[in-house]
Amino acid sequence: MSNWKTLLLRIGEKGPEYGTSSDYKEHIETCFSVIRREIERSGDQLLPFLLQCAEQLPHKIPLYGTLIGLLNLENEDFVQRIVENVQADFQVALDSGSCNSIRILLRFMTSLLCSKVIQPASLIVVFETLLSSAATTVDEEKGNPSWQPQADFYVICILSSLPWGGAELAEQVPDEIERVLVGIQAYLSIRKHSSTSGLNFFHEGESENSLADKDFVEDLWDRIQSLASNGWKLDSVPRPHLSFEAQLVAGKFHEISPIKCMEPPSPPSGLSRTFIGKQKHDALLRYPQRMRRLNIFPANKTEDVQPIDRFVVEEYLLDVLLYLNGCRKECASYMANLPVPFRYEYLMAETLFSQILLLPQPPFKTLYYTLVIMDLCKALPGAFPAVVAGAVRALFEKISDLDMESRTRLILWFSHHLSNFQFIWPWEEWAYVLDLPKWAPKRVFVQEVLQREVRLSYWDRIKQSIENASALEELLPAKAGPAYMYSLEEGKEKTEEHQLSAELNRKVKEKQTARDMISWIEETIYPVHGFEVTLTVIVQTLLDIGSKSFTHLATVLERYGQVFAKLCPDNDKQVMLLTQVNTYWKNNTQMTAVAIDRMMGYRLVSNQAIVRWVFSPDNVDQFHVSDQPWEILGNALNKTYNRITDLRKEILNLTKNVLVAEKTSANARVELESAESKLMIVDGEPVIGSDNPAKMKRLKSTVEKAGEAELSLRESLEAKEALLNRALSETEVLLLQLFQSFSAVLKERLPEPTKARSLQDLKSTGAEDKNSSAMEVDSENGNPKKKSEIGEREQWCLSTLGYLTAFTRQYANEIWPHMEKLESEVFAREDVHPLFREAIFTALQIPLQ
């Protein structure tokens, strides 16, 4: 990398590029002395690289802003190009709804104002344009209040830029910035408070702190007001431009041209709750809230940090996570060395966990955060591991109130995290969960973490890791292998089914085809033993052959999947097939999930059959004590959703290819027609040159080939569109079945609506039920247990409602197109329990009527 690039990239960091100095002033001077000479030689490369650094390392924006201010003193034209590029990028970001670019570029422009590069009045115009658009959007008559998330986002961008330039604006244009602040206050008075009940980490805010009664915009407004009343003084934003203030005042101001905000879609013509809800959902997808605070630690851990400093550090952390997601070690290094003068390990842990548990979904996969936390623990060995452990303990204490989807993510993260640190954890602290009922959330959490650890390692290794709390071995999965019914053990009676299994095994070893297998089954087994015995023998034997590894399983299903398809062509028989799979792998939940997932992938079982199987009585009884049914259901819904997503991508690509093919075909025809028009007519006969026949032949061939290619693409497009329509139709049936199944099982177990109209009522009902034997005795083994806060039935209801909310929220994109039918046939039915309806509407952010 060129020397000037390295200097720009590493400015503000301790490293060889700047010697031993960590002083911002020296860094800027050193970098400036090189860049000023490099502009003439590499200006066209330097400008985009400088802007890229500012946008993708936004915690260094004050340094880049000051550097550009110094360049402005010597090369106004170059800086003018920078300002023009920033404004052009900002307008493109506004037009495309690129939230991160809008936010960062507005912060960058504010920093350029501090360095006397941008005219303060022109930045105020930008603020007022954004604010005007926001106010218009939430206006009931002129705008579309369903798109309030866009309006809120614009206001958040204004407020979040003020820590970087509020002091300068208050000094240079006090009346104008006061007018902007008054406008923001007026906007807050007309907007609606954003309810995030379906996106809270904890149920009904029971474990949230006092911020729960304010939404993000209101809270940020309070922080900015506090900052303004404190003279715009804060510790978290470096102000290197002050060291060069005497020089910078001589620089030329550059204007920002007026900008134009993207208008939201037209408001719905009627008052249909479905249409309004769909627009709000679309707006939240386009302008999501990037941060939801998770206050894990006591206030005394972060009490020295001002509210606005906390916000700025959160911005730093989230920006680093966003822009360095492909370089996890660099990411951890930057996160550990932010330009702030105070310690922030606890705040960093809270921010990371808030992202892992963020609803409806985090920006990145859990694996990314796992790796970053692992690298931070290694980079800060004396501080961060203990902070992470404290966060886990705090979340464990609140686990009964944690959202079910967030709880699942926490289990996946924690088990993976421990696998990177030799599975070391003081399990003796949690050994008391064995005294809790088997349905207690804390006990289920420990059980699921241990089971996930076994998946990541092996049984004996995990047993060894809990030797300080050896009693927890009870929560480990069974060590036994597959439950193969036809093993030839000594002393075991050999039945005719054993012989059939052995014969099938022999045929597989001889590599007989699936067609031969089907003929043998139809002629030899099915007529004599009937369907159930035939299915048992086939499933047990073939799964046993594929039990050595995932690859063996995939090979068996690929070669002999048609045997299963022939035996189980409808949903009823596929449910029986799934039961047999579960019976064979009853000691290994991972292999059960993998086998069913692969079977769906090979289209041997339908998603509807999986839903029916998950809601069968045996599985329903496990809803609150095991994640296995939910994992399998989630896999089935994921695969269904992914198929639709893939089809949409293929249709989009084919549509583009068809347009290209149309253009190619049209050009070929034009060229042929042009050639034909050049033929000369002599004595009524066409006369062509000696090379024209070959050329004409080539042009005609080109037209034919282009037409065939276009036709082929159109046929492919029509086929994919037909597949998509079929998939969407099947999805509607699947969603109806899913929600009807949820409604049916919940109706059986939920208390009467008069006794439980909220989750708090449900918990109170369970706590008051002193006569429930489930509260005294573990129904699995009869051992006396400590009393739980609520009974087993109530915990089952809470868990099932929690997963109902989680699945609804996760697949909202696919639910909304079918909302009218779902509402008429399921949600709006009179016999539907209010808590069922509340779980659905909360997940979809629909206000309850």
Go through the domains of the chain in sequence order and give each one's CATH number: 4-264+278-286 (1.25.40.180), 299-475 (1.25.40.180)
In which element (H, E) is residue 685 found? strand 685-687
How many Cβ atoms sit within 10 Å of the Cβ of residue 294? 25
What tens digit of pLDDT does each residue of 715-771 get? 999 999 999 999 999 999 999 999 999 999 999 999 988 887 777 778 777 655 544
Query: How wide is the angle at C-alpha 491 spanned by C-alphas 487 and 492, nearest 5°?
Result: 40
pTM of structure = 0.91
CA-closest candidate to residue 625, choices 402, 499, 831, 793: 793
Opening angle at CA 187, ends 185 and 191, nearest 5? 125
Beta bridge partners of 112: none
| Closest to 102 measured CA to CA, from 138, 49, 63, 153 | 153
CA gap 131, 14 in Å, rounded: 40
C-alpha dihedral (432, 435, 437, 438), degrees to nearest 10: 70
Q: For residues 44 and 833, what is the distance between their CA atoms, to the nearest angstrom?
A: 65
628: β partners: none
Tokens found for residue 252: 């030329």
Please give, one letter per residue, the 3-state secondary structure of 482-531: CCCCCCCCCCCCCCHHHHHHHHHHHHHHCCCCHHHHHHHHHHHHHHHHHH
In order, the DSSP letters of 271-283 are: --HHHHHHHHHHH
CA gap 590, 576 in Å, rounded: 19
- Non-local CB neighbours of 405 within 8 Å, separated by 6+ positions: 359, 805, 806, 809, 810
In 10 A of CB 359, how many CB atoms? 20
Mean pLDDT of the chain: 90
Q: Kindly report the CA angle at 613 between 611 and 615, in degrees rounded to 5?
A: 70
Give the separation between CA 742 and CA 808, rounded to whole angstroms: 11
Dist CA 357 CA 414 (whole Å): 12
Identity of the amino acid at 225: Q
Q: CA-to-CA distance for 603 and 730, rounded, in angstroms? A: 14
What 3-state class would DSSP assign to 777? strand
For residue 784, the cross-strand partners are 777
- State residue 49's pLDDT score: 95
Encode 313-329: b = buried (16+ Cβ within 10 Å), e = exposed.
Answer: bbbbbbbbbbbbeeebe
User: What is the pLDDT at residue 700?
Assistant: 85
Note the pLDDT of residue 208.
Answer: 43
**Measured between alpha carbons, how far is 399 from 416 in angstroms, rounded to an integer?**
18
Dist CA 213 CA 219 (whole Å): 9
Give me the helices (H) in 750-825, please: 759-768, 792-810, 812-815, 819-822
**Residues 650/716, Cβ–Cβ less than 8 Å:** no
If residue 652 lies in a helix (H) or strand (E), which one and from where to where?
Answer: helix 628-677
SS3 readout for 199-246: HCCEHHHCCCCHHHHCCHHHHHHHHHHHHHHCCCCCCCCCCHHHHHHH
What is the C-alpha R_g of the chain? 33
Closest CA to 582 of 553, 561, 560, 613: 613
Residues 707-717: tens digit of each pLDDT: 899 999 999 99
Please give the Cα distance from 672 to 848 (Å, whole number).
65
Distance CA(146)–CA(580), nearest Å, equals 49
Task: Specify the amino acid at residue 781.
Answer: N
Low-confidence stretches of the chain (pLDDT < 70) are 1, 204-212, 270-271, 303, 489-493, 679-692, 766-789, 848-849
- Tokens representing residue 409 in the block: 């993510």
Angle of helix 366-379 versus helix 328-336 axis, rounded to 10:
50
Q: How far is CA 342 from CA 23, 302, 337, 346, 646, in A?
A: 17, 10, 11, 11, 47
| Closest residue by Cα to residue 185 from 158, 166, 147 | 158
| CB contact at 8 A, 769 and 319 | no
Query: Any long-range contacts for 327-330 (C-beta under 8 Å, 24+ apart)?
Result: 328/368, 328/371, 328/372, 328/375, 329/375
Residue 514 tokens read as 């699936």
